[in-house]
Amino acid sequence: MSGPGQFFLGEEEAALVQRVLTSRRLSRYRSDVADPGDESMVFTLEREIEHRFGARHCIAVNSGTSAILASLAALGVGPGDEVIVPGYTFVATIAAVVHRGAVPVLAEIDESLTLDPEDVARRITPRTKAVIAVHMLGAPCAMDELRAITDAHGLALVEDVAQACGGSYRGRSLGTIGAAGAFSLNPFKVITGGDGGLLTCADDEVYERAFAFHDHGFRPLRQGVVDADSLFGMNLRMHELSGAVALAQLRKIDTILATLRRQKERLTDAIGEIPGVARRRLNDPAGDCCSLLVLRFESITVAEAVSSRIGSTTLINSGRHYYGNMPQLLGRRMPTKTECPFGCAAHPTAHRYRAHMLPRTDDILARSVALSVGVVDSYLGSGFGIDPFSSADDIASVADALHTAVNEVTEKPVADKRRT
């Protein structure tokens, strides 16, 4: 199992890692006087991210979860606040909200597999402080609609870009449209540092607060070693070895994305049109990272049977990416299942979580099957498909296997429906 970035690991990453080891400086911080050409890998990564994505500020951290957590802290999200999140996201998105003492409010997704803006609008209350737009499976949310809603209500819009690094929405890089963007660099992502994350933002005060939160309350880059805004910070820093790998990967991102887009087009063409099967709706096809190809079947029964035959699963069974598979959220280990796990006496909440509370999300995920293009991950529901280096014969074989599975289940021939 692997993500796109891991497929492209090579001599460039090894060279930068070796440079770090030779320097014997594993922390981003240098002595008072640095040798010429001995700039921190982490510092360089941050600056190149800013340049590549058009972000005013970037902070490298130790995980994507930390990036979300620091973003929320910098934006003032805390106890008593509500944060709207999609019911289809990795558990880390929700965990970050909970660890700020806030209450996650689940919202429906639409056929794009991302937040449904209309449902977001319905769930706003006087306690709502922020909305987290998760660019799931490499493709962007409907950012214009979400930004209009959050701006109208004075809410912070945070982008979870963990699965979509390098993606865009109508010409703007994901992670630069909301108040903050949070990226992951684990082995399943578009680019990787082994582990690690990135936080981007445009506001100087948000940047200062986020930096302080990720580094013991210090001002950005520890200039003057002065506390920022009297914040108690944590230690969420990225070290130089992760920074070196991520930096080399960033310098390959255009090649990685071009490869994914070419491979997805080839797989799409090989599969062609299948009766009763639709492709995932994309809010901006040009901004899709193309790490997966998602097919949506008319029937849950057919989707389950086809996914079983190709050795995969429907997205509703893709581990803790679906709210119904999160025991921490549903309170299955609590004495009373109807109790909200995140309430407290000082900030009581009537919000409750239960299975099947998002019927539209349940239906869409139960009818959807993801084929890998660059993210080969059975836990995500993409254990079947191709990878960035699959040959034309490999792609044809995957398409044939899918057609065979559909034929066996529906008794409707699809081989003659392929595009030429």
DSSP collapsed to 3 states, 225-268: HCECCCCCCCECECCHHHHHHHHHHHCCHHHHHHHHHHHHHHHH
Q: What pLDDT shows up at residue 345? A: 78
Tokens (6 digits) for 37: 């050409």
Domain boundary among 201, 225, 252: 252
Do residue 241 and residue 214 come from a single domain?
Answer: yes
Do residue 144 and residue 193 come from a single domain?
Answer: yes
Average pLDDT of every residue of the chain: 93
Residue 227 sits in which domain range?
Answer: 4-252
Domain boundary among 234, 252, 270: 252
Phi, psi of 157 (to 5 degrees): -110, 115
Give the range among 109-123, 179-193, 210-224, 396-410 with minimum mean pLDDT. 210-224
Q: How far is CA 150 from CA 107, 153, 164, 176, 397, in A?
A: 14, 5, 21, 15, 46
Pairwise CA distance, residues 240 & 244, whole Å:
6
Looking at the predicted structure, is the pLDDT value of residue 415 above 70? no
Domain boundary among 252, 269, 300: 252
Could you give the angle at the alpha carbon of 207 between the alpha carbons of 202 and 211, nearest 5°? 150
Pairwise CA distance, residues 377 & 2, whole Å:
6
Pairwise CA distance, residues 248 & 354, whole Å:
44
| Average pLDDT for 142-163 | 98
Q: What pLDDT shows up at residue 35? A: 54
pTM: 0.94
Do residue 350 and residue 394 come from a single domain?
Answer: yes
CA-nearest of 307, 290, 284, 248 to 387 is: 290
Tokens (6 digits) for 146: 């979400």
The total number of structural domains that make up the chain: 2
Q: What is the CA radius of gyration of the chain?
A: 22
Pairwise CA distance, residues 82 & 67, whole Å:
19
Could you give the angle at the alpha carbon of 321 between the alpha carbons of 175 and 58, nearest 5°? 20
Q: What pLDDT shows up at residue 223? A: 74
